[in-house]
């Protein structure tokens, strides 16, 4: 019992500072005061009536969706190769796959800028998607690798023994079994891209500002509760995504039990 209480207190200490932003976003005054003396929706109206904020949100969501799709596909391919194939340099391949998670993000940002600038990929959505994908692939790779290691390999062998091709076995047996891990990896890739600011600052330009960059620029010039409203929107979106992923995982587990 005491362990549950300790875990609950730790979770509360981690989440409470984030949740404080939500009531601050509804404040009726033009500066931060907790608890708010009054409540209003004017800061949300300020956000949605500002073209720069809205364009930044749409651009961030577009980049995040594309990043999640590309990173999930490449991450699955890398994880399957790592867990199902034997090849020379396997340990080096593993190290390279997780390198973007270990190397400081500022180093990655500088390296990507010097690599992308000669190819004119800066200040472009393609460059942002490629850069965010590089950061997100290791997360998908690690998540899917854990899913592959937790499944029964005999099911794949049985499918191959019954005449299925390796590709058919992957889509009909392996992929359905690791679906929760794939969804989790895609979700984390989406959130990683949505929150990325350091690499985006190096690669984005006036035509490709993402929402975190717009937030950063506004924090440098002025601080008003519009920032809290934007943060609350991002927090709400993240919570919805996590609950969706949890619901899908529980549904998959229920289907497996019924079958």
**Tens digits of residue pLDDT in 18-43:** 777 888 778 777 777 777 777 778 88
Structural domains in the chain (count)? 1
- For the residues 60-74, what does the mean pLDDT come to? 92
Asked if residues 216 and 197 have their Cβ atoms less than 8 Å apart, the reply is yes
- Does any domain span residue 12? no
Residue 43 lies in a domain: no
Query: Is 130 among the domain residues?
Result: yes
Cα gap 35→102, rounded to integer Å: 39
Q: Does pLDDT of 215 surpass 90?
A: no
Q: What is the structure's pLDDT at 174?
A: 82
Q: What is the DSSP string of 106-120?
A: HHHHHHHHHHHGGGT
In the block, residue with structure tokens 């392996």:
174
Does some domain include residue 47? no
pLDDT band at 257 (very low <50, low <70, confident <90, very high): low
Mean pLDDT computed over 2-17: 82
In a domain, 38, yes or no: no
For 78-103, write each residue's pLDDT tens digit.
Answer: 888 888 877 787 788 888 888 888 88
Decide if 36 is inside a domain. no
Residue 64 is predicted with a pLDDT of 92
Give the pLDDT band of residue 15 (cuts 50, 70, 90): confident
Cα–Cα nearest to 101, from 148, 144, 141: 141
> What is the rounded distance in angstroms from the CA atom of residue 30 to the CA atom of residue 43?
9
pLDDT for residue 70: 94
* 8 Å CB contact between 138 and 103: no
232/19 Cα distance (integer angstroms): 8
Residue 142 covered by a domain: yes
> What pLDDT is attached to residue 256?
61
pLDDT for the residue 236: 83
Cα–Cα distance between 19 and 14 in angstroms, integer?
10
The pLDDT assigned to 155 comes to 79
* Structure-token match 């399957």, residue found: 80
Q: What is the mean pLDDT of residues 128-132?
A: 91
66 and 129 Cβ atoms separated by less than 8 Å: yes
In terms of residue numbers, what domain contains 101? Answer: 57-258
Tell me, what's the pLDDT at 254? 65
The pLDDT, as a whole number, for residue 255 is 57
Report angle CA 214, 230, 121 to the nearest 5 degrees: 35
Average pLDDT over residues 7-12: 84
Kindly tell me if the per-residue pLDDT of 220 is higher than 80: no
Q: Is residue 230 domain-resident?
A: yes
Confidence bin at 163 (pLDDT 50/70/90): confident
Looking up residue 252, the CATH number of its domain turns out to be 1.10.3720.10
Q: How far is CA 243 from the centre of its chain?
A: 14
Distance (Å, rounded) from C-alpha 52 to C-alpha 187?
Answer: 26
Write down the mean pLDDT value for the chain.
Answer: 83
Residue 237 has pLDDT above 90, yes or no: no
């Amino acid at each position: 019992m005491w362990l549950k209480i300790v875990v609950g207190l730790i979770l509360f200490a981690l989440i409470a500072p984030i949740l404080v932003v939500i009531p601050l976003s509804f404040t009726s005054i033009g500066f931060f005061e907790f608890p708010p003396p009054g409540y209003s929706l004017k800061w949300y109206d300020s956000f949605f009536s500002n073209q720069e904020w809205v364009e930044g949100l749409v651009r961030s969501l577009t980049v995040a969706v594309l990043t999640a799709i590309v990173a999930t596909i490449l991450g699955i391919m890398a994880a399957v190769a790592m867990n199902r194939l034997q090849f020379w340099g396997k340990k080096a391949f593993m190290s390279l796959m997780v390198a973007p998670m270990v190397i400081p993000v500022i180093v990655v940002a500088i390296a990507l800028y010097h690599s992308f600038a000669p190819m004119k990929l800066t200040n472009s959505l393609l460059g942002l998607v490629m850069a965010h994908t590089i950061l997100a692939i290791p997360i998908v790779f690690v998540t899917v690798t854990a899913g592959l290691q937790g499944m029964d390999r005999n099911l794949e062998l049985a499918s191959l023994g019954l005449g299925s091709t390796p590709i058919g076995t992957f889509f009909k047996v392996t992929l359905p079994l690791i679906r929760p891990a794939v969804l989790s990896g895609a979700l984390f890739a989406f959130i990683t891209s949505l929150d990325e600011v350091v690499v985006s600052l190096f690669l984005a330009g006036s035509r490709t500002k993402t929402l975190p960059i717009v937030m950063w620029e506004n924090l440098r010039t002025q601080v008003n509760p519009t920032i809290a409203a934007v943060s609350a929107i991002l927090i709400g979106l993240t919570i919805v995504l996590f609950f969706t992923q949890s619901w899908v995982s529980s549904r998959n587990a229920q289907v497996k039990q019924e079958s």
